[in-house]
Amino acid sequence: MLRYALRRLAALIPVLLALVTLSFAVVRLAPGGPFDAVQGQALTPQVRANLQHFYGLDQPLPRQYLNYLSGLARGDFGPSLSQRDFTVSELLARGLPVSLTVGATALLLAILCGIPAGILAALRRGRFADRAVSALAALAIALPGFVTAPLLVLVFALHLQWLPAAGWEGGSLRYLLLPALTLALPIAAVLARLTRTGLLEVLSSRWILAARARGLGDARVLWGHALRPALLPAVNYLGPAAAFAVTGSLVVETVFGLPGTGRFLVQGAVDRDYPLVMGMVVVYGVVTLLCNLAADLLQGALDPGARGD
């Protein structure tokens, strides 16, 4: 297992390098520049040239790229060009804990709700519980976040007045529930469908039928033989799901007024803040790769044949 983990970890390095290179090229090729205007006022050519020289933007692109890689290797994302009182690392330190907290809570809620719902639907195939889970899952997948979030605010904050409509308050549970639930609903729906499909396929296999023929009870067949292989499709989805929960919260952060990283990415793109955009892309890329790595390791633990040892 350790050799498999090290092999998977080593494979992330060229992927991350390709991500950094492609992102660097895209943000530099985009029209406009960070010093076309400051606070809505156009700069004189001399002031613009001085700013570009100060931040090293007048150097050839290959030199800028190597300088960025050198700083990145030291954990230095560079200064923000639009928010000049802060470095990119400081902005990340302010917003990333919020996004990670919301994403981790959403993923936990999705797992706790989606997988049991899928098991229930499979065990009650064709009955009311199965139809209800399937209908709710289809609805949760169909509704985008910018629709689900206002609906949850309307019901739980404005009508029932159980939870606040927006804010953060240091990550208080009352302020965390609605944004986490917004992100969790589509993930839970997909997990429920994958778990149901996987469990139905395993329960109809010959070796499960043979186990039943030997007199094993339903509970022992489910927990001891069927559930582990049935969860493999859901485990495979956990990597992209975790990445979505952490990095896909832009709409959620906007609706609920959360001080996460999504606003920095959008504002950096609008202002052509190269270091800020690059820092967000790199951090999001690392989070996505690590989430997929964790899902691969969990799959390897559940299914030793997938490790290829």
Each residue's pLDDT tens digit, 268-290: 877 888 888 888 888 888 888 88
The pLDDT-based confidence of 40 (bands split at 50, 70, 90) is low
Report the predicted TM-score, pTM, of the whole model to 2 decimal places.
0.82
Mean pLDDT of 97-123: 92
Q: Which DSSP string corresponds to 28-83?
A: HHSSS-TTSEETTEEPPHHHHHHHHHHTTTTS-HHHHHHHHHHHHHTT---B-SSS
- At position 219, the amino acid (one-letter code) is A
Structure tokens at 67: 């300088």
Domains of the chain, residue spans: 89-307
Q: Which CATH superfamily is domain 89-307 in?
A: MetI-like (1.10.3720.10)
**Which of the residue ranges 18-27, 42-51, 102-111 would you say has the lowest mean pLDDT?**
42-51
pLDDT at 182: 93
The pLDDT-based confidence of 94 (bands split at 50, 70, 90) is confident
Which residues neighbour 242 within 8 Å (Cβ) at sequence distance 6 or greater?
103, 107, 291, 294, 295
Any alpha helices (H) in the chain, and if so which ranges? 2-29, 45-54, 61-73, 88-123, 128-142, 145-152, 173-203, 206-213, 218-221, 227-230, 232-247, 250-256, 262-270, 274-302
For residues 246 and 303, is the Cβ–Cβ distance under 8 A? Answer: no
pLDDT at 42: 67
| CA distance readout (Å), 158 to 179, 183, 290 | 15, 20, 38
pLDDT at 37: 55
The pLDDT-based confidence of 231 (bands split at 50, 70, 90) is confident
Most confidently modeled of 99-113, 230-244, 282-296?
99-113
pLDDT at 229: 84
| Helix 232-247 × helix 88-123 angle, to 10° | 150
Rounded to whole angstroms, the Cα distance separating 256 from 249 reads: 10
Rounded to whole angstroms, the Cα distance separating 42 from 48 reads: 9
Mean pLDDT of 240-263: 82
Closest listed residue to residue 279, CA positions, set 78, 129, 8, 38: 78
